[in-house]
């Protein structure tokens, strides 16, 4: 495993434990060259899953795209990286749990929206504004009123 700090190729495992969902192993490592500590995750390589986009094109499922979107929506919010990764794990499990080789981006988007609604309401609204492509303030207010009416409490 290459050190993200000095790119040295040797590191030792300091701590190893399964993730909450049991589908990956979290390893704390220390670079033998510079002493930098970092975390890696080991998971089973899943079969290829294709995402059908709105325009009908297909692309490989990307856990990273979901992670990036949630990080952007939760920017400057009191949401820990641990909670974000846990949320992405749950979403990926839902998507793969469908048992399909192809899934629409709409289905994935709804999984993300539902997860964010429980995680942080402001992050949810931020994500929704991009995902649902609000055309004007009325669209934004309707979504906001829906969140306020249903009173979701963050986990």
Q: Taking the model in full, what pTM does it have?
A: 0.63
> Looking at the predicted structure, is the pLDDT value of residue 9 above 80?
yes
Mean pLDDT across 110-126 = 90
What digits encode the pLDDT tens for the residues 58-114? Answer: 999 999 999 999 999 999 999 999 999 999 999 999 999 998 999 999 999 999 999
Q: CB pairs under 8 A, 24+ apart, for 145-153?
A: 147/117, 147/121, 152/117, 152/118, 152/121, 152/124
DSSP 63-75: HHHHHHHHHHHTT
Angle between helices 121-131 and 105-119 (to 10 degrees): 160
Q: What is the pLDDT of residue 34?
A: 97
């Amino acid at each position: 495993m290459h050190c993200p700090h000095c790119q040295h190729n040797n590191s030792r495992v300091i701590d190893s434990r399964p993730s909450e969902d049991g589908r990956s192993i979290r390893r704390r490592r220390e670079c033998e060259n510079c002493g930098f500590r970092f975390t890696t995750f080991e998971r089973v390589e899943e079969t290829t899953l294709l995402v059908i986009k709105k325009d009908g094109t297909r692309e490989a499922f990307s856990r990273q795209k979901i992670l990036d979107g949630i990080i952007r929506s939760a920017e400057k919010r009191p949401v820990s990286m641990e909670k974000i990764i846990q949320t992405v794990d749950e979403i990926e499990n839902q998507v793969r749990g469908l048992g399909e080789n192809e899934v629409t981006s709409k289905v994935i988007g709804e999984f993300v929206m539902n997860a964010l609604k429980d995680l942080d309401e402001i992050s949810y609204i931020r994500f929704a504004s991009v995902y649902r492509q609000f055309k004007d303030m009325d669209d934004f207010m309707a979504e906001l009123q829906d969140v306020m009416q249903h009173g979701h409490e963050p986990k």
